[in-house]
Amino acid sequence: MNKKIIKAVFLIFIIFSILTILTGCETSVTMKEENNKEKEENEIIEYNGYVLEWQNYGRWYEDIDKVIIPNTDELQKFCDKLENEDESFVVVDRICRSIELFKKYDDEYFKTKSLAIVGIELVNGKQSINFKNAIKEGDNVKINYEIDTSNEIGTDDIRKGFIVVEINKDINDIIINEEYSFFGKVVESNVSHIIVEPNENEEIRKSSDKISIELGEDNDAIYKVGTNVKITYDGNIKESYPAQVKATKIELKSADKFSLVFYQKNMVTPKQIETIISEGEIENVNYNVYAFEGNVAINLNSDSSDLTENSIPLREALLQNKITMNEIIQKANRDFPDAEWVNDYGEIMEYRYENYTIIRNRDVYIGGKDMTIRDLGI
């Protein structure tokens, strides 16, 4: 009798142990799956994207808002739609078949990827599309962009632009998020709000020449009068004077992009150094800025380092507060994050661009791409 009881107890113990192990394994697998799912949900997935500007103006634009293209057949249909000849136009773009960017989207690409394309109308040639990012949200992709109105020249023609994003196959829809922004100068500032005068070429200036922005109760930033800022807002403008907008971001910057231009318009004397800005001539510039064996201009709202009719002499741009030396040095630090001091005392820094060089010690020198500290005698 005792032996039977002992066997029964032992059998129950074995069964209980096995069940415990199996339950533990199942729980472990479930927890692992939940952790992986949580990790995936918390991970920010960002997709590659770019802007494709379209030059023709046809009725085929009207129903192109957003589309997901899963294969080469659908891409061909999309191209055919854009390139459908309109009787009112003699010239028809063949951009889908001619542009290199679309040629890479073959059957091999579409095995694992799709394309998300968003059509955006630009009301005139001064506007351009600034693609910011494309982020996965569940089974959607959220495409963030803004319309850049800072270009000073352009036609009055309405035209279209496209944002093309390379997405995963599990994306089912596109969320379009347009941001609104403008550049301007702070003309009044206190702890509760700032008043900004938009630049002359900004679209918002049609509503008012002064825009008031509330800073919020928790604000601890100080915006000095005369500071150049970029204001990103929700798109709504309260028609008062000054007009009011709700800012989502305030940045200390004069332009989204710019590039210095180094050129020689006349014969220059070897080792010739010309002063662009003297120490103390501009607020917060407590050093000299020189040009070495040439001249320096700047292209605002452009990445080009070529001299054009829109290039502005750097001295003029600095004096008129269209750009600041702080922004130029910050850009150089971003462009060359691994730049190192070139002397033993940690006093001289070189930034070597394709067409020009910046050398910085106590002062700043801008010269040709081959300029060295030995040329400067420092």
pLDDT tens, position by position, 58-105:
444 455 678 899 998 888 887 777 665 444 443 444 455 545 667 788
Contact 308, 264 (CB under 8 A): no
Amino acid at 366: I
CA dist 314 and 263 (Å) reads: 12
pTM summary value? 0.60
Note the pLDDT of residue 92: 42
CB 166 within 8 A of CB 133: no
For residue 246, give every residue at least 6 positions away whose Cβ sits within 8 Å of its Cβ, in sequence order, or none: 213, 214, 233, 234, 236
pLDDT at residue 34 in the model: 53
Structural domains of the chain, with CATH: 49-171 (no CATH), 180-251 (2.40.50.140), 258-376 (no CATH)
Contacts of 95 (CB under 8 A, 6+ apart): 52, 54, 82, 83, 102
In whole angstroms, give the CA distance from residue 317 to residue 325.
10
Per-residue model confidence (pLDDT) at position 298: 93
pLDDT < 50: residue spans in the chain: 27, 29, 32, 38-40, 57-61, 85-94, 98
pLDDT for the residue 39: 47
Q: What is the pLDDT of residue 358?
A: 93
pLDDT at 91: 41
